Structure 1
């Protein structure tokens, strides 16, 4: 059996799974009040469709689990970020692909690889957000660092113009990227507010804070003035932690989502 034949055999099953997933999404929207069906549908039937859609999504993911490492391993070998972190990004890319997949336009694997490589590539370029730069600028930053290292390895002390010629980037852009400060590691001084006695914060606040990881607790403490700290703006917290404002906003949204689930 040829590879093309195997792909063709998979497509009818992928189409069935896609229809089940779509039916589950629509049923969920009806249950949430975002859609109104033409004819009344019993709630039990809607919930069954939602459950079946989740099962179909899990089946589609399981059938393409090999794609995850196909995407992750080359990037991890080349750039060095944690494989498990990159694996999570690849899985998120696959889930995004599932939401957009149209079986009439081709096989799922081909479609999903694009989203997965995009997510993993951006995560690697930004060092999983630690660099504090958008993905496009992060790639340019690495290009500048690589060019500078190559020139220094040849025994030269390169200037901005030298690096610009080596990297093929504009000199002004190179200068700005060379001046970029990467994220500094958090220290115990950042956790002054978190060091307050639990009774001064109240049991509910203490319980919610424990749902966050260390970095999230520090950011929320600075952002909302927990303990003795005054609440800080996104710009102030970004400057304090050595990251971009966009990174602060993104991490804050993630932390608040954790807190909502914990509450």
Structure 2
């Protein structure tokens, strides 16, 4: 099983390099097939956080995967899966934002919210003041707990301004925007961590194997050019690259499993 996974990953890297050098629909479609599991995994996660069908999210995710394939640069030394996840998830989130409000409110609560506006106005005229939760719940013939949930859901449906104050310090206020992580910085940080992991894996290889991989993937030389430089046949270069990628994958697998857990 491990050898099969290593073979798939090395095949994926070769296809990514081939697509970068000579983009074609045939190679791109092969890459989409190889990485379809990543799209399905993210679609499952997102589908549990919204009311949109899994199938729709999966189809949208493939658009993000294609964008990632087109923009991925194998010479940057990062894992394709780490590079592709923000594109795939981003397409799904854009789709959800275009579909409507971020928070889906049950139809019953939407109807109660509309009815409550009329009941509240009647109670204000009758009581001469704002009705409390108990009075509103009785007017709607529902439990107080449900009325409070209706109010909270309607409040959370409205988007917050990034300038909204979340806490106050001695001399300044901290806004919601200040607390949000910098997505660009996080992506750069992830890419740097992936680069360091890849470099450590490269350092585990014997010198000739490491040189062959660096010449082909980082410097963009053909296998024939590499063969001439290190004094072996192009077939030997291919075998060394294949063996080297498998060794790197075997080295990286425990670390990837640990980071995913």
TM-score tier, shorter chain, comes to: 0.3 to 0.5
Higher CA-based Rg? 2
User: TM-score w.r.t. structure 2 length?
Assistant: 0.38
* More relative contact order, 1 or 2 (CA 8 Å, 6+ apart): 2
